[in-house]
Structures are given as structure tokens and as C-alpha cells.
A and B are shown apart, each in its own frame.
Chain A
Amino acid sequence: MNSYFERRYTIAGIFIVIVIILLARLFYIQIIDNRYAIYASNNVRRQTIIFPARGPILDRNGKILVQNQTFYDIMVTPKQVKPFDTLEFCKLLGIDKAGFDKRWMKAMKYSPTLPSAFEKQLTGEAFASLQERLSEFPGFDYSPRYLRVYPDSIAAQFLGFIGEVSDRDIERSGGYYHLGDYIGETGVEKSYETVLRGQRGVQNWLIDSKNKRKGRFANGLFDTAAVAGQRLKSSLDINIQRLGEQLMKNKLGSIVAIEPSTGEILCYVSSPTYDPNLMVGRQRGNNAAELYKNPYKPFFIRPIQAYYPPGSSFKPLSALIALQNGIITPETTYNCPGYYWAGNTKIRCTHVHGIVNLSSAVSGSCNGYFSMVFQKIIDLNGSKKTETTFTQWRQNVNKFGLGSRLGLDMPNEGKGNLPTSAYYNKVYRPGGWRSSTVVSLAIGQGELEATPLQLANIECTIANHGFYYRPHLIKSIGADEIIKKEYTERNFVGIDSQYFEPVINGMQAVVDHGTAIQSKIPGIIMCGKTGTAQNPHGENHSVFVAYAPRENPKIAIAVVVENSGEGARWAAPIASFIVEKYLKGSISKRESGITPEYFMNANKLPNIENYTAKGKRRAAFLADSLKKAKPDSVFKQKRKKAVNQIKNNQLQNITPESENKKNE
């Protein structure tokens, strides 16, 4: 044997020690240290958010106003792309080589290893031809997404639109929204956002080291399903909405029709309107820019944002207040000589009415009678108490919904304007104004301004003999058709029902043999009131308010056609067609010979030139001198500013948007 025999133990010992060190280390990382298990699950786990389908919106009879359609985003993961036939791919996608390079650079910039959208929102047809060949282009994938489609292209201002969230939205939502999410920007989409958006789901995927999906993490144990947004049933009637938009074509103005027995809005037309489909899809940006540039402001929601002096349609209100307070009786008469003296102010009447009572004053729209009533109310306790009685009058008028928001379920509702005594104290001086100073309020002029919605709501109140339901556009929410409680409560205006009869008699007479006789509907008793709102910029605005039928009213309506003249000529016929269509389902031949087609084809758009001819000349002059000026000179900068100002100011007067609104 040999002398170093015992060295076997040293060698074996060294081996054993090393193995023990390895085992100790393994024990540490496998048993004691928990970090590695967490790292491992983070390595393979990726969350994807499943977007729920947004809730559809239906009309009152269940017809679809907006629903979802699936579009396809083409995704690319640059690292996974292998050489392919670029030309063929471009052809399938409908883009050119330059466009391809641009998108490619963008995707590379975003991330070479993560998927990003290469081309967004391909329609089903466009995608179909690509889908079957997508496997030839490794690294390219698709991701479906829902977009809004509007089969009838109507009620754009009611529905509103959705858009990508802004940083502010993200902040306000407390982290609910992420960059690239969609949110309702206007209309119902905005006011019912939380109902429509549904609930997002989460899927946990297993991924490999190249970010490729390999299956569900923990067999989907931690996944949550997406819950689709709830269905909204709107109160609109698609038939009269469509008719209303056709009638208002090439006109500025609005139609609001309400069911008096519920407060449900049946028709909500803002003209000019636009095709809501324009605000969806790949051309959205261009379309939106075009619409914003449109001088007639299609994004302006006239039924709730446009302010008009209510004119004659306001007249019955003061009379009703006077009746309730016993200041007049229905039999109180007034002898109209064709004008009215309020202090030193002479108010002209349309014609010499002679002796009128309440009903005939309403039907004849006698300025004198209502001025007289108004002065009686305000001067009840003597001219010294003008402020107190005026404030009382104002409160009573306010109960009808004027001067404050009705609480429509839509964003951006306007208040209108019902001046306060404080306002007059400021304009004149405390005690420096009398009933005669503010008498134009009696006939719906002066500082008084109302939205078409408020006008229609007054008609509801009259139709209901003294109360209204809060107007709303969404009838019920979800499959269970839940109706909000506040829409079932009556809002009383503080006038007893018997006082309405003389007013209503007068309103019936307006249609039966008064100013609106042209718009009489065969077989239906309609009670209405024509009005003419003064427009300092051009022809007066044509206003008509009405409800029908007289017994058991089904529809109350307010129509405003801007720059068209008398209420009887434009607004009343349009209103009568809507009412008849709603009540009968079709429009019959009229004795007066008016036809819907005539109104549909008429163009009453104000000429932009008239408004801005002077401004345009000035802009042209400035632009010319701007060209000649030296670059970067102070003069040039000043001129540039002036040109921009003119451009901005040019169109501001087209729609009577109150200054007061801006001060709110």
C-alpha cells in the first residue's frame, strides 16, 4: 500500500464540506428567502384589462340610437417581426410605404418588445381580408375594440360622444381610467358615464421570456369578468326626432317636446346638427376640427344652451300669478288702443284690440293687457314697495323653472336669465326703478331669457294645470328599467288648477282662429302661443309653444327657428307636424295647404357675410399689410394679434348666447 493512505479522508472531507456549503445555499434560497417565488410569479404574470362593451342607448320604443361595433387594431411587436413582403402588407392595410415607415418608427420608439397599435380601428370588412393572411406576417397581431355606431345618425347633441381620457379625467377618477381609455365627453355619454361604461375585467396571463402569452395564470383563478355597461332607454321617440331634424334642416334653432304626464323628453332637436358617426373612427380628428370650424356651431346644444327672449309665450305667467293672488279675475277687462303707456314709456301693441279679457288677451297677444297686469302686481303695495313685490313676482315666475336649471340629466344646461331686483338696483339705483321701468318683462322681453327646454317645460305646467315633472332624457336604466325617483315627483308652481282654464281657452283660440290658425291640426285640439323673439342681428327668431290635445295632454312642445321672423310662419307649422306625427303617427293634409316638405327644404340659415362683411374687409387689409411687414417686427406681431382677434370675434353673434351665462 502506500504512505499517503490517510489523505483520502482529507479529500473526502473537502468534498463533503463543499457539498454542505451548496446545500446550505440551496436551503437559503429555496426555503428561507421568499423573494424568488414572488419574482418568479411576477416574471410570468401579465395583467390585461378586458374592456366591457359600452351600454347601448335605445329610444322610448326600444329602437337603437347607439350601439357598439367591433373594430380591429393591428398590433405590432417589432422584435418578433421577421422579413416579409412589405408591399403586399401595405396593400392589404391600404397604406403606402412612407406611411408604413412612419408607423414602424413610431412602434419602435414605443417599444421594440411590447406590442403597440400599428393601425387603429379597421372595420370588419377591411380586417377580414387581412385576417386570413395575418399569419404570413409574424410579429403582427390584432386586438378587437368596441366603437360607437349610430344606425340612424340622429340626436347627436343628445347622445354626445366619447373620446380618450384627458390627464384631468384620470386624476379626477382617482386612478380608474388609464391613458388611452375612453370616456363620455358630452351628452348622455358624459352624464351617464358610470352606468354606460360597465365594469372592466382583468385577465392574468402566463407569459414566457419573450412576452408571448402561454396560457392563463393559475387557470384564471384571479381573473375577473368584464361586465357590460347598462342599457339606457331614452325618452326620445325616434320617429319625431328624425322628423324634427329633417324639418329643422338648414335652419338654426331647436325643438323640445315633453310628455307632460311624465316629464319625458320626446324630441330634442338642436339645429344645425351633425352625423354622430363622424365623431367615431379614424377620421374623427379631421371631422371634429371641421365641425368646430363650422360657423353655425353644430356642437352648441341649443335646447339647453341657447337663450332667447321668451316673448309672447311668457305672457300667461304674470296673468296666472295675478289670478292666484286675486289681483285680477278672468273677467277683468282692458281697453287696448293699440299701445300702452307705462309711465313715460309707450309700448306698442300689434294692433288695436279693443276691450279684451284674459282669454282674448292671450289669443290676441295683447301687449297692453299683460303690461297692465304686470304693473298691477308690482305696484300692489305702492311704488315704494316695488322691490319687495318684484322679488315676490320673481319667485313665483322662478317656480315655473325660469332663471334656474331644471336639472336635466345632461351636462351644460343653461339657467336662462330672470333678472333680480339686485340687478336693477345696480343698473339704476336702489329705489330708482318702478314697474314702468321693467314693464317689458311683462311681455317676455327685456332682460328675460329662457332656453327652449324651459319654454317647453312651461307648456307642460300649463297642460298639467299647475305642476311639472322634472324633464329628463333617460326614461329608465338597465334591463330592469329602473326609473329615478326624482322623475316621479310633481313640482307645483303655486297656481291653483282652476286659474289655468281662461289661459288655456286663449291658447286654444290662438290655434283655432288666432295667429297660428295655419297650423291647426285636423281632429286635434292644440293649445299654443306664437312668439317673436327680438334679434338685434337680423330677422327675429320665430317661437311657438303648445301642447296637445287639450284634454289629457300627450305632448308639450317649444320650437324656436332663428332668423326667420314671426312665430306663426315658421315655428308653429313645424310644431304642428311634430305634434301630429306623435299623436297620429302620420301627417294629414292641412286646410291651410302647408306641407312638411316645404319646411324641410327651406333654408333660413343667416348669411355669415352680413354679420362679418366689415370684419372680413378689415382682416383682409391687416393680412395684406402683414405680408409687407418685416418678419419679427413689433408691428407684425401686433397685426397678427389683431387678425386673430377678428377671426375669433367674427362669428360670436350668430347665436344669442347670453353674456350672463359667461358670468356664471
Chain B
Amino acid sequence: MNNQRNFFFNVDWITVFIFMALCIIGWFNIHAAVFDERHPFIFDFATNYGKQFLFIMIAFILAIVILLLESRMITTLAPAFYGITIFLLIIVLVIGKNVGGNQAWLSLGGGFRLQPSEFAKFATCLLLARYLSQSNIKITDTKSFLTALAIIGLPMFLILRQPDMGSTLVFYSLIFVLYREGLSANYLIISILFIVLFLASILYPPLYVIAAISVLTFLLIIILRKNKRLITTLLLGLVICVAFIFSVKFIYNKVLQPHQKVRIDIVLGIKSDLRGKGYNVNQSKIAIGSGKLWGKGYLHGTQTKYSFVPAQSTDFIFCTIGEEWGFAGSVIVLGLYLFLVLRIIFIAERQRSSLSRIYGYGVASVLFFHVAINIATTIGLAPVIGIPLPFISYGGSSLINFTMLLFVLLKFDSNRLGIV
């Protein structure tokens, strides 16, 4: 246990600094987003920026506590965490508080609320890592694969019941973890293909899409004509794709909820109902677009200050960054995230224990999914599914969840030389 004594020396300080930088950027931007002239002071607890400061302090304490814990204790408790989360996800469906159409919140009293779906991300990552790191488990085995899918699928199913589409989709990002652990690349390719096909067949008449995909297939066949087996697969794929395209209209019309349909329509530019459902995204684009290169300056964003963008401090916090800090600020924030995610992959890959590595990929995937979809939403590239920007968006549950995700990894990493 020599590493327990000098755990601070083994902590990856680069990651910690990025974490702190993002927290502070978030805090300042929340201050700008919900700035209240009656409470200009950034520490005023009557306001959301005051509360965010409190959350950041709690997150820092939590980070230290995690670093002081035994790694083994965390891994041992993984099934317990998972069990508790699943229990809370069921509870929330019964006694939860409905906010904005999603029954996702448990009231804690004193104005604070807990969002179990946030903690499900951590619990699922940890249990998945623990399961896949067992020596007899190989993702290529059907049984193992299905078990892994079940671990991911159970919280997804429960969260979908709330119904919180955004948080549900976050779990989908764990496909990167499975891919890293040996899942066939086909899954990745096929899932990306199906997303593209889904969007394309909503946007364009099905026959055009079928024509395009047929041409593409024949081109591939000509290139790969020596490999007979692949040609058969490609032709089979074509048939499935065509079947899928025809079923998209059905899925789109019958399975999706009306508000989700509208949100997809907006992103795809089918409906531009700017005063209605498209209002958020349009105002968000105006906010970010009007920031130009250097932005309007701290507390000088007119879109932000005069509350043209709803949910500015939470899901649309990136508007404030884009408007007040301009393209320069956007590049810095996106750069920080990319660096953080790449650093996490780097950390994951240097682990001797496969549990730590798998867990690391889980953290990277979940984080990256949040960042990419959230920012894509604010600039009109993705539907509004309502997921927060890690460390920056206002909200205790989200901040604490990401802190846990990240610092458990840092804890594992500080122990990487020991045997877990």
C-alpha cells in the first residue's frame, strides 16, 4: 500500500487542472447567463451562480474524498451502486417530480433535487468495467455480449420510461467501450450507417435514398469484386437498408413522441417554426453567431442578458460562451474538452488493470457524447434532447456525477502501479 501514502503525487494533475478550469468557466458563464442586477455578487446564494459555487465546492470535496478512498472498495461496491441506482430509477417513476415533461427528479428538500439518471451513468460504467474485466469474459462471446448489453440496457429502459430521451441516448455512447474491448467494427459502422439512413430518409424521398445507397453498394462491389463473401454481405446489407428506409416513416410517425419529432424536424430544417418549437435553437444560433471572433465581452451578451434563449444556464449554456467570448472562446472550450477526452483515453491506455481501462473508456465516451451533442444542439446540428454540458452547465446532479466519473478514474490511475 505504498501508493496510499503518496496518492497526491500520482494524481494526474493535468486532468485536475482541466476539470477545475471547466468548473470555473461554467460558474462565470452561469453568472452571465442568469445575471440579476439585484444580486450582482457572484457568491450570492439567492441566485443560481451562488448555488453553482456551492455545488463546485461540494464537487471538490467529493473529489478529495474519492481520492482518499480505497480503489478496491469502489470496485467491490460497483454492483451495490448499480443496484441502488436502478432502485432509484424505479422509485423516481413512482414518486418523482415532473420537470419539463420528464419525471426525472427526486425532491431532497430545501429546494435541492436529485436526478438519479445522472448517477446511473457512473454506476453503469463502473459495473460494465467490472464485468468486462473478468478474465473469463470476452465480448465476442454471445453470452458475454448480451450480459453487457443488459447492464447498459436496464437503466436505458428505465430512463426512457421517464421519458428522458437525451439521457437514454447517452448510454448508447458506451458502444465505443465495447468496440475498444473487441466488439466487431461492423456494429460501429452499422450503427453510424443507420443513423445516417434514418436522418436521410426523413429529409429526402425514400426512393432517392434507396437509389443513392444502391449506387454506393455497386461501387463497393466493383472495388471488392474479388471477395465473393463480402459481396453477398453487401447485397444482404442493401436489402436490410431498403427495408429500414421503408420502416423509418413508420418509426418516425408512430414511435417518436410529437415533441421529439418536431425537434428532429427543426434540426433537419423541415419546419422553421421560429416562434414555436424552433425558437430555442434559432435564438441560440443568433446568440452564438452574433459573438463573432472575440465575443461581446463578459456580461455584455444581449441575447444572454435579456433572456432570449431559454434554459440558458443549463442545456444552452454554450450560447453564453459563444456570444460573450466569441469564436475564440468557443475554440478554447471545445479544445479543453477534446484535450480532456484524449487525456482520459491516454490515461485509460496506460492502466495495467483492464477494469481501469474499460472504465476510462466509459468516462471518455459519456463525456464526449455530452459535449458533442450539447454543442451540436446549440448550433443547430443535433435535435434538442436536453443533456447538460459537463462541468459547465448549471446543476448539482450533473456536476457531481461527472466529478465522480472523472475522479474515480483518477483514483484508479493513481493506483495504476499497484495491483488492484
**Contact string against B for A residues 502-518, beta-carbon threshold 8 Å, 1 for contact and 0 otherwise:** 00000000000000000
Q: Is B290 an interface residue (CB 8 A)?
A: yes
> Chain B: interface secondary structure?
helix
Please report the C-alpha to C-alpha distance between residue A25 and residue B181 in the assembled complex, in whole angstroms. 32
Q: Is A597 an interface residue (CB 8 A)?
A: no
Please report the C-alpha to C-alpha distance between residue A29 and residue B290 in the assembled complex, in whole angstroms. 8
Q: Which residue of B lies closest to A32 (CB)?
A: B289
Q: Are B302 and A206 within 8 A (Cβ)?
A: yes
Stretch at the interface among A4-12, A281-289, A581-589, A603-611: A4-12
Q: Is B151 an interface residue (CB 8 A)?
A: no
Residues of the B chain whose Cβ atoms lie less than 8 Å from the Cβ of A2 = 182, 354
Known: A30-B292, A40-B302; 6 extra A-B contacts, CB below 8 A, are A4-B182, A11-B176, A14-B176, A29-B379, A44-B302, A210-B307
Q: Which residue of A lies closest to B357 (CB)?
A: A2
Q: Which residue of A lies closest to B179 (CB)?
A: A7
Q: Is B330 an interface residue (CB 8 A)?
A: yes
Choice from A16, A23, A40, A208 contacting B286 with Cβ under 8 Å: A40
Q: Is A483 an interface residue (CB 8 A)?
A: no
Q: Which residue of B lies closest to A209 (CB)?
A: B308
Q: Is A36 an interface residue (CB 8 A)?
A: yes
Known: A40-B287, A40-B302. A26 touches B379 (CB 8 A): yes
Known: A11-B179, A209-B308. A22 touches B288 (CB 8 A): no
Q: Are B286 and A39 within 8 A (Cβ)?
A: yes
Q: Are B181 and A4 within 8 A (Cβ)?
A: yes
Q: Are A30 and B327 within 8 A (Cβ)?
A: yes
Residues of the B chain whose Cβ atoms lie less than 8 Å from the Cβ of A19 = 334, 337-338, 372
Q: Is A35 an interface residue (CB 8 A)?
A: yes
Report the tally of A-B residue pairs with Cβ distances under 8 A: 120
Q: Is B291 an interface residue (CB 8 A)?
A: yes
Residues of the B chain whose Cβ atoms lie less than 8 Å from the Cβ of A12 = 342, 345
Q: Is B293 an interface residue (CB 8 A)?
A: yes
Q: Which residue of A lies closest to B372 (CB)?
A: A18
B202-222: which residues lie under 8 A (CB-CB) from chain A?
none
Q: Are A43 and B308 within 8 A (Cβ)?
A: yes
Q: Are B330 and A30 within 8 A (Cβ)?
A: yes
CB proximity of B370 to chain A, nearest CB, Å: 12
The 3 A-B pairs of least Cβ separation, nearest first, read: A36-B289, A208-B306, A40-B290
CB proximity of B300 to chain A, nearest CB, Å: 11
Residues of the A chain whose Cβ atoms lie less than 8 Å from the Cβ of B182 = 2-4
Residues of the B chain whose Cβ atoms lie less than 8 Å from the Cβ of A29 = 285, 288-289, 379
How many chain B residues sit at the interface, stated as a range, is 35 or more
Q: Are A36 and B342 within 8 A (Cβ)?
A: no
Q: Is A214 an interface residue (CB 8 A)?
A: yes
Q: Is B150 an interface residue (CB 8 A)?
A: no
Q: Are A25 and B379 within 8 A (Cβ)?
A: yes
Q: Are B180 and A36 within 8 A (Cβ)?
A: no
Q: Which residue of A lies closest to B192 (CB)?
A: A14
**Contact string against A for B residues 318-345, beta-carbon threshold 8 Å, 1 for contact and 0 otherwise:** 0000110011001100100110011001
Choice from B181, B307, B341 contacting A209 with Cβ under 8 Å: B307
Q: Is B49 an interface residue (CB 8 A)?
A: no
Q: Is A98 an interface residue (CB 8 A)?
A: no
Choice from B176, B308, B361, B375 contacting A208 with Cβ under 8 Å: B308
Please report the C-alpha to C-alpha distance between residue A5 and residue B334 in the assembled complex, in whole angstroms. 26
Residues of the A chain whose Cβ atoms lie less than 8 Å from the Cβ of B179 = 7, 10-11
Q: Are B349 and A5 within 8 A (Cβ)?
A: yes
Residues of the B chain whose Cβ atoms lie less than 8 Å from the Cβ of A25 = 376, 379, 381
Q: Are A27 and B327 within 8 A (Cβ)?
A: yes
**Contact string against A for B residues 279-299, beta-carbon threshold 8 Å, 1 for contact and 0 otherwise:** 000010111111111000000
Residues of the B chain whose Cβ atoms lie less than 8 Å from the Cβ of A31 = 292-293, 327
CB proximity of A16 to chain B, nearest CB, Å: 7
Q: Are B306 and A36 within 8 A (Cβ)?
A: no
Q: Is A33 an interface residue (CB 8 A)?
A: yes
Please report the C-alpha to C-alpha distance between residue A35 and residue B290 in the assembled complex, in whole angstroms. 8
Q: Are B381 and A22 within 8 A (Cβ)?
A: yes
Q: Are B326 and A30 within 8 A (Cβ)?
A: yes
Residues of the B chain whose Cβ atoms lie less than 8 Å from the Cβ of A23 = 330-331, 334
Please report the C-alpha to C-alpha distance between residue A592 and residue B406 in the assembled complex, in whole angstroms. 116
Q: Are B372 and A26 within 8 A (Cβ)?
A: no
Q: Are B349 and A8 within 8 A (Cβ)?
A: yes
Please report the C-alpha to C-alpha distance between residue A27 and residue B334 in the assembled complex, in whole angstroms. 12
Q: Considering residues A15, A21, A23, A33, which has the most beta carbons from chain B within 10 angstroms of its beta carbon?
A: A15
Q: Are B290 and A11 within 8 A (Cβ)?
A: no
Please report the C-alpha to C-alpha distance between residue A29 and residue B319 in the assembled complex, in whole angstroms. 12
CB proximity of A78 to chain B, nearest CB, Å: 18
Q: Is B368 an interface residue (CB 8 A)?
A: yes
